[in-house]
Each structure stands twice: as C-alpha cells, then as structure tokens.
Amino acid sequence: MTYWFIFSDRQLLLASDGGKQSIPLADAMPLPVAEGTIVHDVGTIDGHDCKAYCTTCDDLGGLERCDLRASYFKLDKRMYDKAGAARELVHWDLTSRYCPACGTQTRRTQRIGKVCPACGHELFPSISPAIIVLIERGDAVLMVHARNFRGTFRGLIAGYVEPGESLEDCLRREVMEETGLTIKNVKYFGSQPWPYPSVIMVGFTAEYESGELRLQEEELDAGRFFTIDTLPELPQKLSLARRLIDWWIGKQGKTAKQE
C-alpha cells in the first residue's frame, strides 16, 4: 500500500478515523490528479511508498483539508516532515508548468527536473535559504514580534539570504538592519526545511557585542531582551525558532512551561 500525500487548495488532505487523523494509506490513488500535474515519488515510510500530488476535485471522498502547519500537531514527526517535502514538490510542479523565460509549456525530464522544449531553459525546485539567530546578552535573550508573524508570540531575528551573501554576511546584515546591534561568537545551531513554501531555515546562536537596541519599524513592532523569568509567549514547537529558544531555556537549567 502507498501513503498518499494529496493537496487541495494548498491544504493537505487527511483521513479521519474516530478523531485520529492520518495520511491516507491505500493501494489505489484516492482522488484524481489535477490535469497537467505530476504524481511525485517522495521516498518510503515503514516500507510503504510515499507519493504526492494535487487534486482539483470538489468531492474529497471523506478526506479532510488540514493546513500544513496544523498537521504538525496531528501527525507524527516523520509524516509531517514527509508532508513538507511533498508540499514543496507539488508547489514546484504547479509553478514550473511554463517556461519563465519564453512561456512555452515545460516537459519533465527527470524526477525533479523539467526543461523548456523551445529554449532549453532547465527548471529545478528552488529552495530559498534564510537565517534565524538567537542573540544572548548576559542572562537575557532577544525576542521580537515581526509584523508578518501569525500570532502574538515573540520569535527571533530572521531573514532571507540575498544574492552574493554568505550565511554569516546575511546574519550580520539582518541583525544590524532589524536591531542596530553588532554580534559576536556566532555559532551554527542547526537547520530545518520550512515548506511555506520552499525555505531552508539555518539557525545560529550569537552574543550581543555592541549597540543600542533600535527596532526596524517596517518589519518589527515589538522586541527586547527577556530573562528566564519574564519570557513572553513562545513560538510553536514546529519551528526552529522554538528549538533555539528551548535550547536557551535548557541552558538556564529550566524547561519551557509552554506547549
């Protein structure tokens, strides 16, 4: 049997059995594939092939739409991660049907590659790198609220890498632009695919070096250094931001009280 990662209106479709939700597991494809789109192979889980596609069916045959972020709290981590990979491939397929150089319909030439038959332009999934950094100052940590956050929680300084930048250049530029601070002792922490729609988040820790905190108002509407006893609402567990913050909380000899 195959695990079917199906997307409808950008949302993941889940089977529901007595309140427990799961990725549909079946021999046959549960719903028709949207015209002109591809069924993608996304590896295996527990010996079952995993396939991903999008559908335009109105009748979902009993499957339920679920926002990919929300699916983190309904699926186990392996299924959520696979759903993220599936979402990135489906997004790439939908946005690469026509050549961006000349407008001709593209042709698939390999598992994740297409070519324009008219001008030869090749298309592969493009993944945007972004940095995120936890900045410590003494016994406090910088947490901010960006205007584009979906909620009232406080997160970390983050931003997209620009052409020609190293991750370290990007980090220093983003921190300076958004806070006016310089940082030192930058250390790599870890990375995480962020399929909203196709980002790889690269996490770092750093220490405050100099400068007066001055928030960039176009991007941030709140932010300051917080000590362990004054922590604000934290980001949800699915994010690398939260992993960084939980690491910092652990370093203070505590565990996060929030879910």
Chain residues that interact with Zn ion, rule: CB under 5 A: 99, 101-102, 104, 116, 118-119, 121
The CB-of-107 to Zn ion minimum distance in angstroms stands at 11
Distance of CA 163 to the CA centre of its chain: 20
Do 127 and 89 contact (CB within 8 A), yes or no? no
The CB-of-115 to Zn ion minimum distance in angstroms stands at 9
The CB-of-114 to Zn ion minimum distance in angstroms stands at 11
The CB-of-95 to Zn ion minimum distance in angstroms stands at 15
- Measured from the CB atom, the residue of 104 and 128 that comes closer to Zn ion is 104
For residues 229 and 213, what is the distance between their CA atoms, to the nearest angstrom? 21
- Measured from the CB atom, the residue of 126 and 148 that comes closer to Zn ion is 126
The CB-of-123 to Zn ion minimum distance in angstroms stands at 9
Which is it for the CA torsion 24, 30, 34, 40, positive or negative? positive
- 205: which strand partners? 134, 187
Alpha-carbon Rg of the chain, whole angstroms? 21
Residue 147: C-alpha distances to residues 80, 150, 216 (Å): 26, 8, 11
ω into residue 100 within 30 of 0, thus cis?
no
- Measured from the CB atom, the residue of 26 and 119 that comes closer to Zn ion is 119
- 106: which strand partners? none
- Measured from the CB atom, the residue of 16 and 104 that comes closer to Zn ion is 104
ω into residue 197 within 30 of 0, thus cis?
yes
- Measured from the CB atom, the residue of 1 and 102 that comes closer to Zn ion is 102
